[in-house]
Amino acid sequence: MSEISLKPKVEKNGRTTYTVTYTESETKTAQDRALAHMGEHAHIAGFRPGKVPLEMLREKVDKGELLEETVRRILPETIRTVVERDQLRPIMPPKIEVTKDVPLTLDVTLIVRPEVNIKGLKKIKVEKQEVKADPKDLQRMIDYMRNQYRTTKSVDRAAKDGDEVTMNFTGKDGEGKIIPGTDAEGYKIVIGSKSLIAGFEDGLVGMKKGDVKDLNLTFPAKYHAEHLQNKPANFTVTVTDVAEVHMPELTDEFVKEHNMGESAAAFKASLEKNMLEQEEDMERRRRESALFDAVRSATSVELAPELVDQEARSIAENLGEQLQRQNMSLEQWLESTKKNPQQLRDELQDEGKKRLVLRFGLEQALEEMEIAVPDDEMQKAIAEALDSMEPEERKKEEAHFATKGEHGYEDILWRKKIEKFVTQMLA
C-alpha cells in the first residue's frame, strides 16, 4: 500500500501538499497499464500495434513519456483516497511533481477553497442617488427626433449658422502632402453642429455655392487618430450647395402623423418616462458595481498562485475569442493598445486576483447571510433558461440543469443567490 503523509503541509491559501510514496508492486502495475496503452499506437517492426510484448516496449519507449503515463495511471486512486480521507473539495486540477523515481515518490498539491474573511459585511451601504430626467437631455432627444424629419431647401446666398452646406474638401499637412482620410466629396454638414474639428464649421460661414476657401486649422489634442493630434492642417474647401434647414415643430398634428402618440404632451411624457427608466437602470448598475467593489475591499483571502494562473488563463482565452470574432490577432491588439506581452501578463494576473477575491468574498457573504433559493424558484428559473434555447441546444444541455452539482443547475443557483444578495444589500 502506498504511503501518504498523514500530516500534509497545509497553507492558508488553500494549497495542501501530500508526499506519496508507492510500492514497487503498485508502480509496476501502473507502469504495465501505461505500457499497454502506449503499445496501442506503437509501431515496432514485426509486431502489429497493440501486440508488442510489454518487456520489449519497456526498452523501446521514451522513459520520460513512460513515467508521465505511469503517473497518469496511478494518480486517480491516490486523489480519491486523499479527498475522501481528509474530506477535501478541490477547486482545480492537482499539481504533480515527481521527486523520486525509485521508489516512485510524488508531491501532490491540491487546491481547496482558502480561508476567507469578510470584514463589516453588514455595515456596507451604497447610497442611492436621486434619479431624474435632465430637461436638457429631454430636449436633445426631442431635437434628435425632429431632426429625423427635417427638410432642406437650396438657397442662393451666403451660408450662415444653421444652414446645411454640401462641400468637397481635401486636407494637407504642413509640407503640403495630402493627409490620408481627410478628403471627401458631397459631404453634408449643418453649421453649428460641432461635428467637425474646431474652426471648420465657422470657416464655412459666408461661403456661397461655388466658393473655394483654404482653412488653416489644428487637430485637437484628443483627436481619435493619435498621429494627427495637435498637428496643423490646411483644408481646401469647395462649396457645392447651401440649403436652409427646416425643423418641424413638435405639435399634436406632427406627433399623430408619425404615429408617436396622441399628442405632443403625451409624447414628451412617454419620452421622459423612458429616460427615467434608463436612468434608474444605470443607477442600479452603478450601485451594484459599488457594492461589489465594497465586498472586494472588505474581503481578506490568500490566493494560491496556481489558482491565480488558472484565472488569468481563463481571461486570456476569453480575450482570444473576442479578438477572433473581430478578426484581429493578439499581436495587432497589443500594437493598437501600446502594450507589450509582459504588461498583458501582469494585467491578466491583476484582473485574475480581483475576480477571485470578489468571487470568494461573495461566496462568504452568501454563506454568512444564509442566502438560499427555494426549489420552486429554481425550477422556474431553470424552465425559463431551457425555454430560451433552440430545440437542439436544449436537448444537449437539459441534463446539465436536472440536478444539483451539474454546471447548468449550479450556474443558475449562483445567479439567483447573487440577485437576492444584491436586492437585500441595496434595499
Confidence band of 1 (pLDDT split at 50, 70, 90): low
Whether the full predicted model's pTM is greater than 0.85, yes or no, is no
Cis peptide before 53 (omega within 30 of 0): no
Angle of helix 407-425 relative to helix 375-387, nearest 10 degrees, comes to 120
Distances (CA, A) of 379 to 217, 369, 397, 412, 420: 64, 23, 15, 10, 16
Q: Is 9 helix (H, G, I), strand (E, B) or coil?
A: strand
Looking at residue 9, its pLDDT comes to: 66
Q: What is the rounded CA–CA span in Å between residue 35 and residue 52?
A: 10
Give every CB contact of residue 179 below 8 A, 6+ residues apart in sequence: 171, 172, 173, 228, 233
- pLDDT digit string (tens) for 37-63? 887 776 666 566 666 677 777 767 788
CA distance 66 to 31: 7
**SS3 at position 3:** strand
Q: Which three cell numbers stand for residue 167?
A: 462641400
Give residue 272's identity as a one-letter amino acid code. E
**Percentage of the chain lying above the pLDDT 70 cut:** 95
How far, in Å, CA of 20 to CA of 144, rounded? 72
pLDDT for res 6: 53
* The three three-digit cell numbers of residue 271, written as one number: 419620452
% of the chain with per-residue pLDDT over 90 = 75
Give the E-state strand segments of 43-177 in sequence order: 95-100, 105-111, 116-118, 151-154, 164-172
Measured between alpha carbons, how far is 368 from 117 in angstroms, rounded to an integer? Answer: 10
Residue 146: predicted pLDDT:
92
pLDDT value at residue 257: 93
- Grid coordinates belonging to 47: 509486431
Q: Which of the given ranges, 49-53, 133-137, 233-237, 400-404, has the highest pLDDT on average? A: 233-237
pLDDT of residue 104: 93
pLDDT tens-digit series, residues 189-200:
999 999 999 999
CA 28 to chain centre: 48
Q: Biggest alpha carbon distance in the chain?
A: 102
Query: Beta-carbon neighbour count of residue 104 at 10 Å?
Result: 23
User: Which grid coordinates belong to 375?
Assistant: 426549489
Conformation bin of residue 259: beta by default, left when phi > 0, alpha when psi is -120 to 50: left
- Residues 16 and 5 sit within 8 Å (Cβ to Cβ): no
Q: What is the pLDDT of residues 383-424, one digit of tens each?
A: 999 999 999 999 899 899 988 889 999 999 999 999 999 999
Beta carbons of 196 and 184 less than 8 angstroms apart: no
Residue with grid cell 509501431, as numbered in its chain: 43
- C-alpha torsion angle, residues 397, 399, 405, 411 (rounded to 10): 30
Calpha distance 212→169 (Å, rounded): 9
Contact by Cβ (8 Å): 422, 291:
yes
Q: What is the pLDDT of residue 61?
A: 77
pLDDT, average across residues 176-199: 93
- Of the two residues 206 and 35, the one the predictor is more confident about is 206
d(CA 108, CA 64): 19
Q: For 119-270, where are the E strands, in sequence order?
A: 151-154, 164-172, 178-190, 212-218, 232-246
Which candidate, 121, 119, 114, places its Cα nearest to that of 291? 121
Place of cell 483654404: 214
> What pLDDT score was predicted for residue 139?
93
